[in-house]
Amino acid sequence: MPRAAAWTRATPPIGPGGPPTVEQVQTGATLSSVTQLDLRTLRIRSGEQFRDTRQVHVDPLTLAGQRYVAVPREPEADVVVTRTRSGFVLELSLDARLHGPCFRCLDDAALTLPLRGREYHSSDAPEADELRSQYVSDDRLDLSAWARDLLALALPDKILCRDECAGLCPVCGKSLNAEPHEHAEAGDDPRWEALAELRERL
C-alpha cells in the first residue's frame, strides 16, 4: 500500500484543488496507461519538499524485435519534488525487474536494475527552453515516460539468462545449455574448388 505523502518543514495547507494527486491516464489508440503527477496540486513554497511513494506504470520495451516487460508492471517508486524560486527539482527512484528472452538462447531472462533520475524544471522558461524538463507538460509530470527512459538507459549491452549462457547451436538450433553438443564437420564444399585451384597456381 502506498505510503502517505509527506512534506519537509511545515506542511502547507491544502488548497481548494485538494491534495496532491498521482493519476493513471489512458492514452493513445492502444489505451496504454500513464502515471502522472499534477504539479499544480503541490501546495509547497520555495525550499519545501513533497515526498511520496507510488506505483508507476512502465510500458514494455522492444529490443532487437523482442519484448521485455517490467514485473510487476507498476513497480513502487519514490518521488521527491523540491520547490525553488523559479521551478522544481524533480527526483525519481525505483528498482525495476525486467523479464524477456535471453539474447543468446531465447530462454527467459530477468534482471533487476536500480533506477535513479534527477531533473530541473523551470516554471518561467519558454516551452522549448533546455531548463524545462521533457517529462513535464501542462504542469503534469509524466512518471511513466521518465521511468521507462531510465530503464532503457540502464540496460546492459546484452540481456542474458546467465553470464555463461552458451546460446543456440548454429547448425541445429538446439539450446547448448540444455544439450551441449558438437556436429561433425561437413565435407569440403565443391563450390570452393575453383578458388582452391586458383590459389595453388598463384
> Where do the structural domains in the chain lie, given as residue ranges?
6-167
Which grid coordinates belong to 16? Answer: 481548494
Q: How far apart are CA 7 and CA 44, in angstroms?
A: 8
> Smallest Cα–Cα separation from 121: which of 61, 189, 37?
37
Instruction: Give the model's confidence band at 93: pLDDT under 50 very low, under 70 low, under 90 confident, else very high.
Output: very high
Q: How far apart are CA 172 and CA 99, in angstroms?
A: 26
SS in 3 state form for 29-52?
Answer: CCCEEEEEEEHHHCCCCCCCEEEE
pLDDT digits (tens, 9 = 90+) for 19-66: 444 454 443 333 357 899 999 999 899 999 999 999 999 999 999 899
pLDDT digits (tens, 9 = 90+) for 128-142: 678 889 999 999 999
Provide the 10 A C-beta neighbour count for residue 194: 9
Query: For residues 63 and 159, is the Cβ–Cβ distance under 8 A?
Result: yes
| Largest separation between any pair of C-alpha atoms in the chain | 93
